[in-house]
Amino acid sequence: MNFYYSFGTVLLLLAITAPTALAFGFGGATAARSQIAPIRWFGKGYISIVRGVPDIAFFLFFVIALDQAFEYIRHRIKCPEWDEPIRQGSDFVVCQAAKLPLGNAPQWVHETYGFALAVLTFAIVFGAFAANVLYGAMRAVPRAQLETAEAYGMTRRQVTRRVLIPQMWVYALPGLSNLWMVLIKATPLLFLLGVEDIVYWAREMGGTKTPQFTDYPHGDWRMWYFFFLLVFYLCFTKLSEVVLDRIMARLTLGQATAGGEAQRKAAA
């Protein structure tokens, strides 16, 4: 049963992460275009650091780092009278009240917390990729369109809101759909973050013996479980490809791009 639930976990992760990463990406791209230098440096730094390093290292890094950052902040707020150092040799020690989740919290809180950390990590990493795509898309919007808007007397903010953002999607979509595919393919990495996802359950259920169930009526079926996962992902990416192609066709309608031109000619 848990095996089937874990598919829900993966879909839920995708459903939450995609918009969050898009929001991060939007923030990053806007920051990278900002007129204020420190914000611009921050945006560009965010994009380039995450891009240069193997992502799996980021996944492993952020989960611990975020966890410790949260605990550290809570520690500073909740236990101001604590005087021992937090890093004692190779231990990370915070007071009891600052533990996240609380030591006496029920099991589902622990699982939800782990899941939330995973989502945040995914959002940070994929946010950087999305920021890069959106940054490129914003620069790809034809200058003439923005100049027309300026000629109508719009302020910089109005130009961004009314012309730049609606127009950039057609340029962003190829990159974003690529990113979506990559995001789908990155979901098995949840396993590394300690969430009990499909990879975990495939390993558990397929094996002959597990810590949880001592005896199975079958031999080593892990190969078949993973084969099933492989097929699941193949179907999922294929489906996404079809849907994204439709969205792209809809977005190119009437655009001043090669795709839009081809559509116009086909109709005429």
Instruction: Choose between 130 and 164: whose C-beta lies nearer to other proteins.
Output: 130
Contact characters 50-79, other proteins, x per CB under 8 A: xxxxxxxx--xx--xx--x-----------
C-alpha 216/C-alpha 204 separation (Å) is 11
> What is the nearest approach in angstroms of other proteins to the Cβ of residue 87?
7
DSSP string, 204-264: HHHSS--SS----SSS--HHHHHHHHHHHHHHHHHHHHHHHHHHHHHHHTT-SSHHHHHHH
Q: Which amino acid is at 261?
A: E
Supply the minimum distance, in Å, between the C-beta of residue 122 and other proteins: 11
Binding of other proteins by 187 (CB under 8 A)? yes
Restricted to residues 221-240, the positions that interact with other proteins (CB under 8 A) are 222-223, 226-227, 229-230, 233-234, 237-238
Supply the minimum distance, in Å, between the C-beta of residue 72 and other proteins.
Answer: 12
Integer angstrom CA distances of residue 34 from 30, 41, 42, 44, 47 = 6, 9, 10, 10, 14
Binding status of residue 132 toward other proteins by CB under 8 A:
yes
Please check whether residue 220 is in contact with residue 207, taking contact to mean a CB–CB distance below 8 angstroms.
yes
Nearer to other proteins, 139 or 238 (CB): 238
Our finding on whether 185 is near other proteins (CB under 8 A) is: yes
Beta strands (DSSP E) in the chain are 87-88, 91-92
Choices 140-148, 199-207, 209-217, 256-264 (CB under 8 A): range interacting with other proteins:
199-207
Task: Kindly report the length of the chain.
Answer: 268
Distance CA 11, CA 17 (A): 10
Number of residues that bind other proteins (CB under 8 A): 46
DSSP state of 97: G
Task: Return residues touching other proteins (CB under 8 A).
Answer: 50-57, 60-61, 64-65, 68, 87, 90-92, 129, 132-133, 178-179, 182, 184-189, 191-192, 199, 202-203, 206, 220, 222-223, 226-227, 229-230, 233-234, 237-238
